[in-house]
Amino acid sequence: MCSIGGHANLSLVLVKEKWVQMPKFAANLSWLFTDLDFKDRFAAAADAGFKGVECLFPYDHAAAEVAELLHESGLEQILINAPPGDWDGGERGLGCLPGRHDDFRISIEKALRYAKSIGCTRIHAMAGVAPGDVDPAKLRDQFVENLAFAADICGQAGVRVLIEPINTTDMPGYFLCHPDQAAMIISEVASAHLALQFDIYHIAMMG
C-alpha cells in the first residue's frame, strides 16, 4: 500500500501471462484533504478511490470514532505513528533517547491499544532526535532495546512495528536517517514483527 507521503505494499497482478507487482495507494490524511476537518477526510479519501489511509498521530480523536469513520467509508487504516513525546517541544520520537525507556514503552502500549481498536496492523516507532552529547553507540543500543520490546508486544497482537529513515534536512538531527542503518538495527533485533518503512522521498533527500 503506497501512500502519498507514506506507506507501500505490493500486490500481484497477472499481465500477459506474467505476474507483475502492482502498488496499492493509500492516502495520508495528515497531508491530504487538509481543507477539510480531519473527520471529513475519510469520506473524501474514499470518494477519491482510495481503499486505505494513514495518518501521523490520531490520538486527538477517540479510537471508537476513528473506527466508525473507517467503517462508514469502507477504508482500512494501514499505519499510525506511536506518540512521539513532546512534539511541540522538539521531540520527534523516543526510541533512541537515554532515560526515556519508560516513556517509550508507554507510547507503544498506547499506540497498540489504539491500533487494535481501529484494526490497524502497522505502527511506526520514531527513533527521535539524537542528543548531541551522547555516544551514538549508546543511542543505537537504546533503540535496539526499545524496538525489541515493541516488536514483542506488538507481534503478540498481530501488529508489525516499522522504523523509517527520515532525512536530516526536514528533521535535523534525526537519529535514523539511512536505510542501511535501519537494516542493521532490524537485523540485530531479529524479530519477524519489525520491518523497514522505506520512504522514497527521505531516501532521495539523503542522496
pLDDT 10s digits, 140-186: 999 999 999 999 999 999 999 999 999 999 999 999 999 999 999 99
Q: 82: closest CA among 29, 113, 123, 119? A: 123
CA dist., res. 8 & res. 12, Å (int): 13
109: which residues sit within 8 A by CB, 6+ positions away?
153
CB-based burial of residue 35 (10 Å sphere; 0-12 exposed, 13-18 middle, 19+ buried)? exposed
* Grid cell at residue 120: 490497524
Residue 111's pLDDT is 98
Write out the CATH class of domain 82-205. alpha beta
* Rg of the chain in Å (alpha carbons): 17
- pLDDT tens for residues 98-120? 999 999 999 999 999 999 999 99
Supply the pLDDT for residue 12: 47
Q: What is the DSSP letter of 61?
A: S
Mean pLDDT of 75-88: 97
Helix (H, G, I), strand (E, B) or coil at 185: helix
Separation of first and last alpha carbons in the chain: 24
Q: Average pLDDT for residues 64-90, to the nearest whole number?
A: 97
Q: Is the pLDDT of residue 13 over 60?
A: no
Instruction: Report whether pLDDT(2) > 90.
Output: no
126, pLDDT greater than 70: yes
User: d(Cα 161, Cα 193) in Å, to the nearest integer?
Assistant: 6
Average pLDDT, the chain: 92
